[in-house]
Each structure stands twice: as C-alpha cells, then as structure tokens.
Structure 1
Amino acid sequence: MTRPLEDVRVLDLGQIYQGGYCGLLLSYLGADVVKVEPPWGENVRTRSEDGYPPQFQYLNASKRGITLDLKSEAGREALERLVEKADVLLENFATGKMAALGVGYDRLSEVNPELVYAHGSGYGDTGPYAEYPAMDLTVQAMSGVMDTTGFTDGPPVKAGPAVCDFVGATHLAVGILGALFRRATTGEGDYVEVGMFDCMYPTLASPVAAWVSESDAPARTGNRHSGLSIAPYNAYEVEDGHVAIICIAERHWESLAEVMGREDLVGREGWDSKVERARRIEAVDAAVEAWLDGRTKGEVVETLLDANVPCAPVRTVPEVVEDPHLRERGMLHDLPNPGEGREETPVPGMPIKFAGSDAPEVSPAPSLGEHTEEVLTEVAGYTAAELDRLDGSGSTSE
C-alpha cells in the first residue's frame, strides 16, 4: 500500500540537523525528497575533510541529491523551474536569506501558487530575536534548557543530543503536513515557519510548574524530577553503572517498597502520597540507595520489571546502536559509510508506523550532486542541450 506522501515532491534546501531531519521524515512518509545543495555542499559536509561525515548519511538517507548555485542567475532559474513542479520547499537558512537571493516565498509563490514553503529558524521571522544567529547550543541557552540541566551545585549544562534542532525539525514537518492537508481542500499553498526557540518553551512544563507554584525548587535538579515533585525519580548508582527508577503511580511505589522489603513505608504517614514523598526526596532516595547497594544493573532491572516498576539501565551509545528492540522496530539501518571510520553508519529509520503501509526502504544519502542531471531532466524539463551547458557547480552556465 502507498505511504501517506506518495506523489508529493519536496525540494529540501535544509542544512545541518533541523532541515536535514525534517526532510528525512518527509522522505520516510513517501515523498520524493530532492536534496538541494550549493556546489560546495551544505554546512554539515564540512565536518570531515572528505565531505562524507556520518551526520550527513544519518540525516539524508533516501533522498536524491542535486547542486545549484543560487548566487547565480542560472541557479535561481533552475530552482524556479523545479518549484513549478514541486509541492513543498523547505529551508532553514537565516531569516531573510532566501529573499535576499531573490528566491524567497514571495517570488516562489508567484512561480507556483500551490507551493508549501516551509522555513525553519532559531527564533522565527518576527520578534526581538528574529535576526540573532542561532544554533542548537545558543537556543538551548536562550530557552532555559541549559539552565535546567545539570546539578544544583554545578554550572548549567547543555543537553547531550541536539534537542532544539530535532524538536524544531519535527514541528516543521507537522506544519508542512498541516499545510498540505489544507491545500487539498483550498488548492492554495502556504508559508509555514517554525522557530526552535518557540518549540522549546512547551518542554519546560515541570520547571515552569515549579515556578508557578512558587516552590523553592532549584533550576537544576540533576537526575531528579525537574520540579522536584516526584520521588523516587533519579538515576541511582549500582555496582556496574546506574539505573533510572521512577514511580509515577501509587502502585509503582507499593511494588517498589515490597521489592525492597520496606512494606512498612506503604501507607505510612508522610510517605502515603506522591506529594508527601516528594517532600522527603532525600529520605526516599536513601531508602532506594540502601536496597541497591551491591546490586548490578541487570539484577536490578530484571527484578523491578518483574514487579512492574518503571526503570531502565543507563546505557552507552555503543549499546544503543546495537539495540535489538530498535532493530526489530526498523530504527537501525546499517548503510555503507563512504567516509572515514567504521564501515557502516547506523542510519535511523521511521519512528512513525502505519498499519496501512509498509515501512520505508532506506537507501544511502546521495553524493554531492549525484542526481543533478536526472532531476533537472525529469522534473524541470531540461533538454540535452541545456544539460550540455551545465558547469561543474551543478548550475547552467549563464
């Protein structure tokens, strides 16, 4: 059966992580995604001398790749001819960059009134920060992510993953889907813009809740709950590493207490509700730590899962990329690594599953400009004579 975006063509001018992952999601949804790069390659390619860093493979699988020099008249003409036959154009350049090149939304919507033009940025198109340069790190700093990450007595710490880039990419993909859905009814294109800064505020639900309730919860709580309103909730040390344990429901706490041999804590005054236990975080953690003393990750996790207590071992990246659950779910695809390092890159699959269609096949990311002639001929209608005038940059010569 077909995937949801079959027959949808996307011009992916995205770069680094936000744009790259948005295009990857659309590709996995069935769209024909054409990666459009400048002749020298998009920014993430510069992370290795050979131009093939694992990050590029990771986020640009299952796309076709072309090069266009949008600083040239010929490159802009080629883009416009592609836009005539496209459904979506996505980019995450600095706000105003595409307009300055003469191929912003105003111009491209004249070329194709049905075009869904999607722009991702750090801070959005409007507001006091709109022109600030933005990367994941700076948005983590500005949005409160760094201030709420780390331990109480330590400095602010960035989140390990590029959370702002990927949350922004996912929101941009949702916006594109919404615009395509509306276009199916109205026949009209749209301009969709997403700022990563906007996307991060909803993730502060627990820290903001602590502020609203006027609690004295510190900004940084280490591995404890951000609002210090749940206990136990922590990554606890064991003999061979750490185990994350959390009790959301009363049944979880009751099961944990039974496993620990501390049935005396169930229903005990001062321990008999989530709110009361949160007020005694130190004592709760001490009780859990006493039980964990001398135990291993495997032993603890097996025991707690049998008791239906939410828990997990704190795992390393090498362990995750070999994970059998991710592999069975189609989330790990070992594709050849054309660059230096290991022979294969474990490219992510599609997290969204549909009962009505098969999982997408995952093919290697394109080499720089690999499909330029193919796409310009097939989509933009370039003739053999026009292709003969192609220069080495992937743009027709002026």
Structure 2
Amino acid sequence: MSNGFQPLAGMRVLELGTMIAAPFATHILTQLGAEVIKIEPPAGDTTRSLVRGGPSGTIIAYSHSKKAICLDLTTEQGREVFRRLVATSRVVIHNLAPTAARKLGVTADDCMAVNPNLVHVHIKGYTHGPQAEGLMTNPIAEAATGAMDDHRVDGRPTRFGPSYHDQFAGTYAVIRVLAALMDPAADQAARRIEVGLYETGLHLAARDLAGMQLKTQLLGRLEKEGGGEFSMPGYGAYRTADDRWVYLLVLTDAHWARLTRALSMPEDGAPEFAKLRDRKKARETVETAVRRAVEGLAFAEVEARLDAAGLGFHEVMPLERVLDAPQARAAGKLREVGFRGLQFEVPEFAPDPAGAADPGLPPPEIGEHTEALLAELGYAPDEAAALLSSGAAKAYQSGDFAWAPVRQKA
C-alpha cells in the first residue's frame, strides 16, 4: 500500500483461493497492509494455467504482494503445516466447495479449534438454505439472480465479460472481515462468516427486483423494461463517422434538449419529443435520430460539442487504450509489477495522490515461499526436507506452470 497507509500491517491472512472471489478479497487486504499467504495444492490455483499453460492476468493483478506456499492438504503432514499457519494468523479466507472444505480440514470448526480468535470466511455458492451445499460459479449467479435475463446478445442470454459477481462477493467478504475486526466483542459466531455468490447476486439485483415489484403493483400487471439503458432513448452507445463508439448519458428532458442542440438535430425543440414519456413511445424514431446525428460526425467533433454542452459521455474504450488515458496515469493510480521478466501496470485499490507506491512483492510462483515459511513455523531443515520429499509440501521448481512458447507463423 502506498503513502504508509497500512491499517492491517502485521496481520496475517491465509488464502485458500482459486479463480477470483477469495483471491480478490485477499488482494484488497494486501493493499491495506495485511500479510497474505496464498496456500495452493500441487495442482495450483486454476488461474496458474489458463494462458498457454501458464498464469493468467488474474495472478498478476490480484496475487502480487502475496507470499505462496504449496501444501497437499489430503495428507496429514500437509494439514499439520496448515494448522501451524492457522495458529499464527488472524484471518482465513477460502472459496472451496463445502465438501472439499470438510475433506481438507479447513472449515471454521477445524480452524477455530486451532485458533479460537480467528476470523474465518467461507465464500461459497449459497449460504444457509436448501441449496447450502450447492456449487455456483459467476455466470450461474448471473443466471440465477436475473442479471443474465437482461443481458442478451442476438437475443440469447449471455454472461457478462468480467466476473463481477465473484469480485463483489470478495468485496463483501472484506467488509465483513473489517466489521469483525472492528468489534472487540465479536464472538465466534460473529467471526464465522459465510458469503454466498447467490446471495451477493440477489443483493446486487435488489434495485431491479424492487422496481419490478413496484411496477407490477402500481399497474396491476408485470412490466419489465429490458436493456441496460433503462429503455431511455438516447442513452447508450452510438458509432461515430470514424468508426469509434461514444456512450451518451441522456437521462432527463434537459439532457435531451442539450443533446439535440449540441448535435444540430432536426428534433431540437420538437414538442413531440420534449418529454421522456413521449420519447419512450417513439423509441425507434428517437434512436434512429440520435444514431444518424452521431454517425454523421467524427468522434473529435462529437466530443467537442458534447463537452461544450455539458453532457455526460465517454468514448467506449478498447482495453488496449484504457491505461493511456491521462486520468488513469495520474500519480499513484498504477503499480509497476514485474513478473517473469515482463512488466505490467496494475491499477491500485486505493490510489495515492502522492504517487509513492510501495512496490511490494511480485506475483509469487507456486510454492515460492514454502521453504522460508516452513522454517518460520519451526520446522528443522531435516523435517522440512522430509515434508518436501514426501510431497506434503512443495517448493517452486523452475519451469512450473511455464507459458508454452508462441509459434511464429511461417
């Protein structure tokens, strides 16, 4: 964390995470100063092998500044190392399936038997209820909570691009951890935290669910307005003459008046389009008018006119240009991360205007800190060697999860 702001400095957090939800939660905690130890099985976190057999961007973005130990928790020796780690820690966060958590001995009961003062967080598919043992992934959460029904490509319900439900679940986990740490009277029940991907999705959909119920009760029938643009004509993405996309924020009648004036649209001042309710009735006509106005101008001209009119808008940025924006490059917004001889710029959780970012640790290789942590936990060299030779623990070996070479086209 930058600027010396490390409220969780000195606090050890154990992560048994795969994919995104738990690693994202612990990523935030590292940015708040916590020491995070990533515990992985010999097969590694799934994201270690997603790109040509090697680590994906998830490892680079969300596991920098962590330490890594590799343990086989199906062995008693591996579980004993884990118990020693638990005894030295304040928080354990995992997103294992319920059956796997019990099999590997990482449940709240298992961990609190070793460390009664622990905060234990299980990010799982569902919390209490008839599906408490069920499995869930990010796109299944989108499907189950209504989000996917409103996100269609060519009429087919489709998952979002980023795994927002995973990331929100991780963020909710952090909030619950901080709340438990702030309460000196928190008993074990309060420190046994479960965050469900399904329940996270329900909460995220609360506004839409309440809005649907409101309209149903007011109108006496079910009425849903599809589309992420809330069915407001002129609110959405439009292509410019030079094949760039601009996203317009046209929420109010005043916005509509400014838009039509700024783009010199024939509809400027037309009374039949002045009110939102009328524009909704003539949605196709209004959408066509906005589309024609935007596609008749180059992006720079659209930008200048909308800026002058004081309207909300932004170019729809392709990923390869996002970090080129001056706002993204302001002091303290990006962290320089080196990994395997490559250099990355990774956005910070809490940017520091002073720009004094602590470089932290690079993303760890699997088992990179296994030997150092075994020594710290009190294992003599011969005991550590026995753990490594038995396979109960594993240290990083050059070539583990290497990216496959890129073949040059002939």
**Bin for the TM-score computed over the shorter chain:** 0.7 to 0.9
- 1:119-176 deviation digits (Å, cap 9, x = unpaired): 111223x22333333222222222222211025x611121111122112111111111
- 1:209-229 deviation digits (Å, cap 9, x = unpaired): 2453137765742xx52x42x
Q: 1:65 to 1:38 in 2, by over 3 A?
A: same
- 2:363 alignment partner in structure 1: 365
Q: 1:46 to 1:310 in 2, by over 3 A?
A: same
Q: How far apart in 2 are the matches of 1:130 and 1:279?
A: 45
2:24 maps to which of 21, 26, 30: 21
- 2:338 alignment partner in structure 1: 336
Shift of 1:262: 5.1
2:98 maps to which of 91, 95, 98: 95
Structure 2 letter corresponding to 1:306 = A
Q: 1:346 to 1:220 in 2, by over 3 A?
A: farther
Q: Are 2:378 and 1:381 equivalent residues in the alignment?
A: yes
- 2:321 alignment partner in structure 1: 319
- 1:164 alignment partner in structure 2: 165
Q: 1:61 to 1:25 in 2, by over 3 A?
A: same
- 1:391 alignment partner in structure 2: 388
Q: How far apart in 1 are the matches of 2:296 and 2:264?
A: 16
Q: 1:251 to 1:3 in 2, by over 3 A?
A: farther
- Structure 1 window deviating more from structure 2 (99-108 vs 27-36): it is 99-108
Shift of 1:28: 0.6
SS at match of 2:47: helix
SS at match of 1:33: strand
SS at match of 1:391: helix
Q: Is the 8 A contact 2:137 2:197 kept in 1?
A: no
Structure 2 letter corresponding to 1:344 = Q
Alignment root-mean-square deviation, CA: 2.9
SS at match of 1:324: coil
SS at match of 2:346: strand
- 1:60 alignment partner in structure 2: 63
Q: 1:232 to 1:198 in 2, by over 3 A?
A: same
Q: How far apart in 2 are the matches of 1:86 and 1:301?
A: 52
Shift of 1:113: 1.3
SS at match of 1:213: helix
2:38 maps to which of 35, 38, 53: 35
Q: How far apart in 2 are the matches of 1:168 and 1:88?
A: 17
Query: Which structure 1 segments of 5+ residues have no match?
Result: none
Structure 1 letter corresponding to 2:69 = I
Structure 2 letter corresponding to 1:24 = H
Q: Is the 8 A contact 1:30 1:360 kept in 2?
A: no
Q: Given the two structures, how large is their TM-score scaled by the length of structure 1?
A: 0.85
Q: 1:336 to 1:201 in 2, by over 3 A?
A: same
Q: How far apart in 2 are the matches of 1:131 and 1:186?
A: 26
Q: How far apart in 2 are the matches of 1:388 and 1:307?
A: 70
Q: Is the 8 A contact 1:148 1:220 kept in 2?
A: yes
Structure 2 letter corresponding to 1:80 = R
Q: 1:3 to 1:279 in 2, by over 3 A?
A: farther
Q: Is the 8 A contact 2:267 2:273 kept in 1?
A: no
- 2:346 alignment partner in structure 1: 347
- 1:287-332 deviation digits (Å, cap 9, x = unpaired): 3223213212232123212322111111211112444322326444
Q: How far apart in 2 are the matches of 1:323 and 1:253?
A: 28
Shift of 1:270: 5.0
- 1:295 alignment partner in structure 2: 297
Shift of 1:357: 11
Q: 1:264 to 1:54 in 2, by over 3 A?
A: closer
Q: 1:348 to 1:243 in 2, by over 3 A?
A: same
Q: 1:195 to 1:290 in 2, by over 3 A?
A: same
Q: Percentage identity across aligned positions?
A: 28
Q: Is the 8 A contact 2:64 2:337 kept in 1?
A: no
- 1:132 alignment partner in structure 2: 134
Q: 1:3 to 1:146 in 2, by over 3 A?
A: same
Aligned residue pairs, count: 383
Q: Is the 8 A contact 1:16 1:42 kept in 2?
A: yes
- 1:174 alignment partner in structure 2: 175
Q: Is the 8 A contact 1:120 1:193 kept in 2?
A: yes
- 1:196 alignment partner in structure 2: 197
1:310 maps to which of 286, 309, 312: 312
Q: How far apart in 2 are the matches of 1:136 and 1:47?
A: 17
Q: How far apart in 2 are the matches of 1:301 and 1:217?
A: 36
Shift of 1:244: 0.8
- 2:404 alignment partner in structure 1: none
